[in-house]
A and B are shown apart, each in its own frame.
Chain A
Amino acid sequence: MADGIRVLSLSAWFGSQRVLRNVFVNIAPNEVTAIIGPSGCGKSTFIRCLNRMHEVVPGARADGRVLLNGEDVYAPGTDPVTIRRRIGMVFQKPNPFPTMSVFDNVAAGLRLAGVRNRAALHEAVERALGQAALWDEVKDSLGKSGASLSGGQQQRLCIARALAVGPEVLLMDEPSSALDPIATAKIEELILELKKDLMVVIVTHNMQQAARVADATGFFLLGELVEFARTREIFTSPRDKRTEDYITGRFG
């Protein structure tokens, strides 16, 4: 069953502007996949298409097939809500719910899914915070506002919030670009830990980060997936001239 994500001929538009062109790619399960490329190349749009978040922007649409463990995310009649429960997402800027406590932030997804049992909620919250390597720092202040944490803690809180519902995939859209180097290192450590349990797809601006955490890496340019290969190959022997130019810092 767990055969990862297969993307077949995926295209995406904002209004009449085409931002993704016929992307084909296979993302393997239990791996970390990095998506790199210059600003505006469509890398964020690509991962937002995977959990159907792209279409929440007015005027945005996508076309093609995305098979999550064999099931088409874009099949007619598929409810994006159920897809988003299976594919969690972490954003560039930490966005905890500021009016909710740390506990309620992590429990939010479960409550949306209808979990009311206190013991079950407690267990899931503790597990998710543990997975996000935040439990030890917040276990005595679960009632504090989610916005009172530091930036790095807030981002791990958002990771815990996404993990609490037990997703099969975690999408991360430049999760450490708003964080300092120490907080970034913690997030990267966490990503390597998480890949034991689920797939991680991470968009990053930072090529060193891709090299450090990812098993496979895809390079996007102008809405096209130029090259997708094992991370070591991408960085040591890229096949495409454009990939080489980008990773050697000639542009972007």
Chain B
Amino acid sequence: MERLAPAGAGAAPSRLLPGAASASARSAVSGDRLFRALLRAVGLGFVLVMLAMIAALAIAAWPAIRQFGWGFVVESNWDPVQESFGALPFIYGTLLSSILALLIAVPLGLGAAIYLAELAPAWIRPPVGFLIELLAAVPSVVYGLWGIFVLAPLLRSWVQPFLGATLGWLPLFQGPPYGVGMLAAGIILAIMVVPFIATVSRDVLLAVPSQQREAALALGATGWETTRVAVLRYGRSGLIGAILLGLGRALGETMAVTMVIGNRPEIAASLFAPGYTMASVIANEFTEATSDLYLAALIEVALLLLVITVVVNALARLLVWSVGGPVKTVRE
């Protein structure tokens, strides 16, 4: 009884226990405040770090921005000797290799996720899921090495000649088969992002309530129809999120791509031709950037990469909203 504060002692009454403003309740309230302030600082801190990063990059890139203006993003000559810099081939290379990677990785990743969540017998799920997760843990330089010594020769002697012979009337599959190039980069990236897409999608599908599956089954849906009508539709915003995670990973991947893309700053229609990405050029040329303008140009590439990543994510977020927004929870 002594612990009850006298009425009108100025203590803020606890919101949980109205009228029982004990000393412990008071300290709980101030602890609550401290906790909230701490979390707010952490949350806003990330925004500040992001803004500071953009600002720092913009300041460091300023000489190049002033010198080349919009020409930097629309011109395709990259000549450090003449100090003339146009980053379009890198932007093109980054976007094309990532799109290529998604074209390959989305069907594979979603397929694996549907298998693991809907079809696979219970005993097979943990080992297969574990192996897919393990793919995400392989260092990217190992993927790059595999790309150089296994994938590129395979592409050069088998895949590219075959594609050239069958689909050679498309500009995409013309030109000499080098092995290394845009196609190799896209395939390596696809292998690297599949685990992200597959494991996140699997978790999204497993989170679909079983009542949704039963609803479809009871209407006379077959197994595949149940997956399509009840499961995939219910989880679609989460699935788009999984694909975005893969895309973010593909846009920024540096090491493996640098090792197999050929590193030539050119825009070619053919997927067989070598290319270059933004991340690769920064990694390759940073140590040789002797002049201030060269360094500023590379930092501007970094700034552009950051901006492209943000814009792609924003666009994708819009896409999620336009397909109906996050799943509304069913009212009880």
Q: Hey, which bits of chain A sit against chain B, CB under 8 A?
A: 51, 53, 56, 58, 81-82, 84-85, 88-89, 91, 93-100, 108-109, 112-113, 145, 147-151, 154, 158, 161-162, 165, 178
Contacts and interface: CB of A to CB of B under 8 A. Distances in A.
Contacts, number: 88
Interface string B118-132: 000010000000000
B232 to A, nearest CB: 10
Main SS at interface, chain B:
helix
Interface stretch (B107-115, B141-149, B210-218): B210-218
B233 A165 contact: no
Contact of A161 (B212, B219, B234, B327): B219
Contact of A56 (B217, B229, B234, B329): B217
Given A99-B327, A147-B329, A151-B332, A93 B229 contact: no
Contacts of A108: 216, 219, 229
A199 B252 CA distance: 61
Contacts of A113: 220
B9 interface: no
B327 A162 contact: no
Given A94-B330, A99-B234, A151-B332, A53 B217 contact: yes
Interface string B300-331: 00000000000000000000000010011111
A178 B332 contact: yes
Interface in B213-244: 213-222, 225, 229-230, 233-234, 236
Nearest to A89: B218
A91 B215 contact: yes
B324 A99 contact: yes
A130 B213 CA distance: 26
Interface string B248-283: 000000000000000000000000000000000000
B6 to A, nearest CB: 44
A194 B254 CA distance: 65
Interface centre among B213, B220, B332 (most CB of A within 10 A): B220
B231 to A, nearest CB: 10
Interface centre among B215, B217, B331 (most CB of A within 10 A): B215
A93 B225 CA distance: 22
B330 A88 contact: no
Given A91-B215, A112-B229, A96 B330 contact: yes
Given A56-B217, A84-B218, A93-B211, 15 more contacts: A51-B218, A56-B214, A84-B219, A95-B214, A95-B215, A96-B215, A97-B216, A97-B229, A97-B234, A100-B233, A109-B220, A147-B330, A147-B331, A161-B215, A161-B219
Contacts of B216: 97, 108, 112
Contacts of A147: 328-331
A151 B331 contact: yes
A162 B219 contact: yes
A145 B328 contact: yes
B230 A97 contact: yes
A105 to B, nearest CB: 9
18 contacts: A53-B214, A56-B213, A84-B220, A95-B211, A97-B212, A97-B215, A97-B233, A99-B236, A99-B324, A108-B219, A112-B216, A112-B221, A148-B328, A151-B332, A158-B215, A162-B219, A165-B220, A178-B332
Say which size band chain B's interface belongs to. 20 to 34
A58 B210 CA distance: 12
Interface centre among B219, B230, B330, B332 (most CB of A within 10 A): B219
Nearest to A113: B220
Nearest to B213: A56
Contacts of B324: 99, 145
Nearest to B218: A89
B217 A84 contact: yes
A81 B236 contact: no
B218 A88 contact: yes
A67 to B, nearest CB: 19
Given A97-B230, A99-B324, A112 B214 contact: no
Nearest to A179: B332
B330 A53 contact: no
A94 B332 CA distance: 8
A15 B86 CA distance: 67
Contacts of B219: 84-85, 88, 108-109, 112, 161-162, 165
Contacts of B217: 53, 56, 84
A51 B220 CA distance: 10
Nearest to B233: A99
A150 to B, nearest CB: 7
A58 to B, nearest CB: 7
Contacts of A148: 328
Contacts of A154: 330-331
